[in-house]
Structure 1
Amino acid sequence: MYTFKKEERLCNKKLIDKLFHNGSSFLCYPFKASWLLIDEPMQFPVQILFSVSKRRYKHAVDRNLIKRRMREVYRLNKQKHLYDTLNSSNKKIVLSVGFIGKEIAEYDFSEKKMLKLLTQLCDEISK
């Protein structure tokens, strides 16, 4: 339940290209989410990709810190806020969450915004 396995990560280059060319996106500052419904069979209802701009954060230490925080917040909240909705509607998606903030956010702020992003994503999917 509170795990984040390799199979949940989006690594397939074809799916990533399809996501960024055909997917929908929305902004929930400091995150930008892109998502796409897919028909392919997957073990988990969501495959996710986290990204942080190299142009904005020059040091890998900063990028890694932000990605670690994003992964941790997602890991702790995905079941309740995303998986339950997707499993009940029997849908599967690929998702990209990019950090576009100007400064490194504290964990509490990131958690609050990620929860908002997940609920907004569920609303978009159920339309």
Structure 2
Amino acid sequence: MQAGRAFTLKKEERITSRKLMDKLFNGGGSRAMTSFPVRMVYLEVERESEDEPQAKVLVSVSKRHFKRAVKRNRVKRQLREAYRKNKHIVLDRMQTRPGRTVALALIWLDNNLHDTANVEGHVRNLLVRLSEKL
């Protein structure tokens, strides 16, 4: 961990736009990779403004995997925390591409809960692989 780096996850860094979600899942240009139990779908797009973040994230846990909201919320919290702590891996790579931003969706695939360190390891693995492809 480097000093001076903000390990935050602000609202601007989350995908809230329906248009961007449609582009990510239905646009055809997106790519996916899996590190079970996490699947990451990503798409590199043009940056709309200079103050827009270079990486935006969406976290999804299906009701099909966990009927109870308590468990779904726990997994979403684990995924968000793992991304927040390791997003610098992708952001450092995106510094070389100033006019671009990457949209990521982290999707849970398993019917079982995992411990936080395990989830973080899988998310870090996906972010490292993504940074190599960008």
TM-score by length of 1: 0.92
Specify the SS of the correspondent of 1:17. helix
- 1:36-115 alignment to 2 at 5 Å? 36-42=43-49, 43-79=52-88, 81-90=89-98, 91-115=100-124
Q: Which runs of 5+ in 2 are unaligned?
A: 1-5
Alpha carbon RMSD of aligned pairs, Å? 1.1
Report runs of 4+ in structure 1 exceeding 6 Å deviation: none
Specify the SS of the correspondent of 1:33. strand
Structure 1 CA distance for aligned equivalents of residues 65 and 84 of structure 2: 25
Q: Which runs of 5+ in 1 are unaligned?
A: none
Specify the SS of the correspondent of 1:88. coil
TM-score by length of 2: 0.87
1:27 has 2:28 as partner: no
Greater helix content: 1
Structure 2 CA distance for aligned equivalents of residues 47 and 89 of structure 1: 15
CA deviation map 1:43-83 (0-9, x unaligned): 2111110000111100000000000011111111112x111
Structure 2 CA distance for aligned equivalents of residues 87 and 18 of structure 1: 23
Structure 2 CA distance for aligned equivalents of residues 73 and 5 of structure 1: 14
CA deviation map 1:80-126 (0-9, x unaligned): x111011123331111010112311101101111110101111222x
What percent of counterpart residues are identical? 31
